[in-house]
């Protein structure tokens, strides 16, 4: 045996956890098995019924414009017909991008980042899960390769049963609901429930990786409630999250290792944003409840209020700060879609997580007790806080 045979396989690139995004979005359903007109009609009905709850995107193909351009030449009233490659138009009630170059598969996913649900014309495009229609006008015998995760079966008018070739091909067929194509109420209910089933789990992060310059000692090691703050906040968050970690810098690892699960900052010199990004990088498919370690007055009532009012359709759910003016980023639930959003702000030169919250689609709450947001940053405030907590018997 040669020495090379004993070596582990060479790893060229860092292994990163990948976001569970389909061809377009995190939650997507392709509709296929019936003519495109029926697919569009169904998608529009679902969107109309759920549009007040979810941001829904629709993906389809249109051959008419291409046919018209081939016959009549380019539209000379459009920038794309006059040499431009990208055109943005403010249509007053919506905005429109026309792109002559097109988007690749990675850029395409970024375009749908804000969508909660993507409905796809499965006659033209794939998706991670499918709604199929049993319709003699568009038989599925030759499209079985597209039926990878069938979640719902619909019957066109006049069809009374699902063909054997579908029953034999579709995994877990007996468990899949079957409705009439015209049963919009039940179809809508199924789609809404499917979205709810795919809401990301909530994990927790204690933000304790700061340098504590003003305090002159590690704020995570301070004790207010019989345990150091890292441990105390970890215990508080554990009531609401199945997995909770402590954010720490390289120098703090020896203090935390073996005591608490931790995530060492991978984004350096960015303050709290570095810890938040590290958590999202470690698991981009979870939402993260982030709590600063220097909030000694924080109560379970406030944490429970935040968790109960979480809005997974937003980039984040946060409280207004103690002045009631701006979002408080250090007591916030960050949804998975916040990861690329925070990185985008970073690429533009902004490291402040509050600025990202201010300029993004977030849900803002008024905290039940503003005292919970009081942070302690210097030795004098620390001693005063200890005395106050002792007087209150907390």
| Per-residue tokens: 141 | 């015998």
Residue 13 — pLDDT band, cuts 50, 70, 90?
Answer: confident
- pTM over 0.75, yes/no: yes
Higher pLDDT, 294 or 120: 120
Residue 151's contacts (CB-CB under 8 Å, 6 or more residues apart) are: 29, 129, 130, 131, 176, 190, 194
Give 312-360 pLDDT, tens digit per residue. Answer: 999 999 999 988 999 999 999 999 999 999 999 999 999 999 999 999 9
**Measured between alpha carbons, how far is 339 from 316 in angstroms, rounded to an integer?**
10
Quick one: pLDDT at residue 1? 47
- For residues 293 and 244, is the Cβ–Cβ distance under 8 A? no
Taken in order of first residue, the domains within the chain and their CATH numbers are 28-197 (3.40.50.300), 202-392 (3.90.550.10)
Please compute the mean of the pLDDT values over residues 241-252 and round it to a whole number: 92
For 71, what's the count of Cα atoms within 13 Å in the CB-facing half-sphere? 6
Per mean pLDDT, which range of 90-99, 121-130, 190-199 is the poorest? Answer: 90-99
- For residues 242 and 261, is the Cβ–Cβ distance under 8 A? no
Quick one: pLDDT at residue 172? 93
User: Is the Cα dihedral 353, 195, 198, 151 positive or negative?
Assistant: negative
List the 150-155 sheet strands across, edge first.
56-59, 117-121, 28-32, 130-134, 150-155, 178-180
- For residues 146 and 172, is the Cβ–Cβ distance under 8 A? no
The rounded Cα 34 to chain-centroid distance in angstroms is: 31
């Amino acid at each position: 045996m040669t020495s090379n045979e004993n070596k582990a396989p060479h790893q060229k690139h860092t292994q990163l956890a990948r976001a569970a995004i389909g061809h377009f979005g995190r939650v997507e359903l392709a509709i296929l098995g019936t003519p495109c007109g029926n697919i569009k009609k169904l998608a529009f009905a679902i969107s109309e019924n759920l549009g007040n709850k979810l941001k829904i995107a629709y993906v389809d193909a249109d051959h008419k414009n291409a046919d018209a351009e081939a016959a009549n030449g380019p539209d000379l009233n459009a920038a794309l017909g006059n040499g431009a490659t990208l055109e943005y138009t403010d249509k007053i009630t919506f905005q429109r991008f026309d792109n002559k170059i097109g988007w690749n598969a990675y850029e395409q996913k970024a375009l749908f980042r804000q969508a909660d649900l993507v409905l796809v014309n499965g006659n033209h495009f794939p998706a991670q899960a499918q709604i199929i229609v049993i319709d003699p006008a568009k038989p599925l015998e030759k499209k079985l390769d597209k039926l990878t995760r069938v979640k719902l079966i619909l019957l066109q008018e006049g069809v009374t049963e699902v063909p054997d070739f579908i029953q034999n091909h579709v995994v877990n067929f007996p468990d899949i609901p079957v409705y009439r194509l015209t049963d919009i109420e039940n179809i809508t209910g199924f789609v809404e429930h499917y979205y709810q089933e795919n809401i990301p789990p909530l994990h927790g992060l204690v933000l304790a990786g700061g340098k504590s310059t003003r305090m002159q000692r590690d704020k995570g090691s301070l004790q207010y409630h019989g345990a150091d703050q890292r441990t105390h906040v970890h215990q508080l968050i554990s009531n609401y999250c199945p997995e909770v970690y402590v954010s720490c810098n390289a120098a703090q690892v020896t203090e935390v290792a073996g005591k608490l699960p931790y995530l060492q900052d991978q984004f350096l010199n960015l303050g709290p944003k570095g810890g938040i990004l590290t958590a999202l990088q470690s698991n981009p498919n979870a939402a993260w409840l982030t709590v600063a370690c220097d909030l000694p007055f924080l109560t379970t009532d406030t944490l429970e209020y935040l968790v109960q009012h979480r809005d997974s359709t937003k980039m984040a759910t946060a409280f207004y700060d103690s002045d009631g003016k701006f979002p408080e980023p250090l007591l916030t639930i960050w949804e998975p879609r916040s990861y690329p959003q925070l990185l985008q702000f970073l690429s533009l030169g902004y490291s402040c997580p509050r600025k990202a919250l201010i300029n993004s689609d977030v849900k803002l709450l008024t905290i039940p007790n503003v005292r919970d947001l009081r942070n302690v940053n210097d030795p004098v405030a620390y001693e005063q806080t200890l005395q106050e907590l002792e007087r209150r018997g907390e």
